[in-house]
């Protein structure tokens, strides 16, 4: 299916709504039936028709169809945010006594789920360095039910060989789950590489304007149906029609935004690499990246996020650099129109700052839609401390 078709046409039956180009926001909680028999039929399968918007809603359905197609998946569910999609996808596949193998340093709320929530139900998790397949082989136990991946991860960009992990997991009857937020399905399609469930936050690149949250979980029709019938309806974390409409709007420009951000990221990366005060940059599609070969093999692109170590030994210097930025804002999240920066030292108290621990001197930049020269000028004046 053509990308342009998916984004501009798929799922949009415009004759049903006055041939309007933009889809309607069907802002309703419930749907009426004419006869008892119609109602009875609807109750038989809540996924097949419109009954109540905690389940299926027409505006959300348009988005679902597009997002599943982008992932190359049979079906998907759209959640109110990415964390909810992680929760449902993981929770649906484990029970008391089960074991999970997860890559180290997963997204913070995935880690919270593994460390704080699931142990209450007798479910344990082993974290591994996912850069080698042997580490997966060694960590798998007879009760391992799920392998949790995040490739690349959004700070260090560690990758996993997705086809190899999928093959290993399949031979052991283990479900594979990936957080694909960094790449989006435009730059990586894990389901086509054999991964069972692909999750992405829609809050970042899909929405693209820092004005709504969303999360996507894609997989086989059978897996998605199982999650819909249980975790999705039970927890009630599906997206609201208006937010789904916002994401549909974001989706229209996703390829254009990713193209531009990817090009700008390359320019900003080159500049950072030329700066003596920048000790080292980390970007998955940089030839100097440790897993560059694997990244080039399984990813079609990379955009936005760059991590770097700064050559400053006092925390006040790093704070000065960040505080002097005039256009690049300090905020969590990424994927919007606006460039952002986060210094790791913001989660370390000043007294505990240790320049010998390189991670304390690490920053993560997100390159947005601004002109790259505008961003470089801002970075330069903040680095030198002179107004540029």
User: What's the min distance (Å) between Cβ of 79 and ligand PLP?
Assistant: 8
- Give the 3-state secondary structure of residue 313: coil
Q: Report how far residue 377's alpha carbon sits from residue 54's, in angstroms, rounded to the nearest whole number.
A: 48
- Which residue stretch of 69-77, 199-207, 230-238, 268-276 sits at the interface with ligand PLP (rule: CB under 6 A)? 199-207
Angstrom distances, CA of residue 307 to CA of 50, 239, 268, 281, 321 = 45, 31, 12, 6, 15
Read off the DSSP letter of residue 9: T
Nearer to ligand PLP, 176 or 383 (CB): 176
Is 181 among the residues that bind ligand PLP (CB under 6 A)? Answer: yes
User: What's the min distance (Å) between Cβ of 100 and ligand PLP?
Assistant: 16
Nearer to ligand PLP, 69 or 83 (CB): 83
Is 281 among the residues that bind ligand PLP (CB under 6 A)? Answer: no
CB half-sphere exposure, 271, CA atoms < 13 A: 17
Nearer to ligand PLP, 154 or 218 (CB): 154
- Which residue stretch of 198-206, 243-251, 253-261, 278-286 sits at the interface with ligand PLP (rule: CB under 6 A)? 198-206
* Residues 27 to 86 in contact with ligand PLP, rule: CB under 6 A: 81-83
Neighbours of 21 (CB within 10 A): 7
Neighbours of 327 (CB within 10 A): 15
Is 306 among the residues that bind ligand PLP (CB under 6 A)? Answer: no
CB burial class (10 A; 0-12, 13-18, 19+) of residue 103?
A: buried
Dig out the tokens for 21 from the structure: 């180009």
Among 91, 107, 136, 366, binds ligand PLP (CB under 6 A): 107
Angstrom distances, CA of residue 313 to CA of 147, 183, 347, 362 = 39, 33, 17, 12
* Residues 203 to 222 in contact with ligand PLP, rule: CB under 6 A: 203-204, 213, 215
Nearer to ligand PLP, 69 or 84 (CB): 84
- By beta carbon distance, the residue nearest ligand PLP is 82
């Amino acid at each position: 299916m053509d990308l342009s078709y998916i984004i501009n046409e798929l799922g949009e039956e415009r004759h049903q709504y006055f041939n309007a180009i933009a889809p309607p926001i069907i802002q309703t909680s419930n749907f009426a039936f004419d006869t008892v028999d119609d109602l009875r039929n609807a109750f038989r399968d809540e996924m097949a028709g419109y009954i109540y918007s905690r389940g299926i809603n027409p505006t959300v359905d348009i988005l679902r169809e597009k997002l599943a197609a982008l992932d190359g998946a049979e079906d998907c569910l759209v959640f109110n945010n990415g964390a909810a999609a992680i929760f449902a996808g993981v929770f649906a596949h484990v029970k008391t006594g089960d074991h999970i193998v997860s890559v180290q340093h997963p997204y913070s709320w995935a880690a919270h789920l593994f460390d704080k929530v699931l142990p209450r139900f007798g479910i344990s998790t082993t974290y591994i360095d996912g850069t080698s397949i042997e580490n997966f082989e060694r960590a798998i136990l007879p009760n391992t039910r799920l392998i949790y991946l995040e490739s690349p991860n959004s700070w260090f960009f560690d990758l996993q060989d997705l086809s190899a992990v999928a093959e290993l997991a399949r031979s052991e009857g283990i479900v594979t789950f990936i957080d694909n937020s960094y790449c989006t399905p435009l730059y990586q399609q894990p389901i086509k590489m054999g991964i069972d469930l692909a999750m992405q936050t829609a809050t970042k690149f899909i929405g693209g304007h820092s004005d709504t949250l969303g999360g996507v979980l894609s997989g086989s029709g059978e897996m998605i149906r199982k999650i819909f019938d249980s975790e999705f309806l039970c927890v009630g974390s599906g997206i609201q029609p208006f937010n789904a409409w916002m994401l549909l709007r974001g989706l229209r420009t996703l390829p254009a935004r990713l193209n531009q951000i990817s090009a700008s990221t390359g320019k900003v990366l080159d500049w950072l690499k030329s700066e003596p005060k920048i000790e080292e940059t980390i970007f998955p599609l940089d030839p100097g990246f440790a897993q560059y070969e694997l990244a080039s093999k399984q990813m079609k692109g990379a955009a936005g996020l760059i991590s770097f170590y700064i050559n400053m030994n006092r925390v006040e210097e790093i704070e000065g650099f960040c505080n002097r930025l005039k256009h690049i804002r300090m905020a969590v999240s990424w994927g919007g129109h606006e460039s952002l920066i986060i210094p790791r030292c913001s989660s370390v108290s000043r007294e505990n700052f240790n320049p010998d621990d390189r991670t304390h001197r690490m920053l993560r930049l997100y390159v947005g839609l601004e002109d790259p020269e505008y961003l470089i000028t801002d970075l330069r004046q903040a680095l030198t401390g002179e107004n540029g």
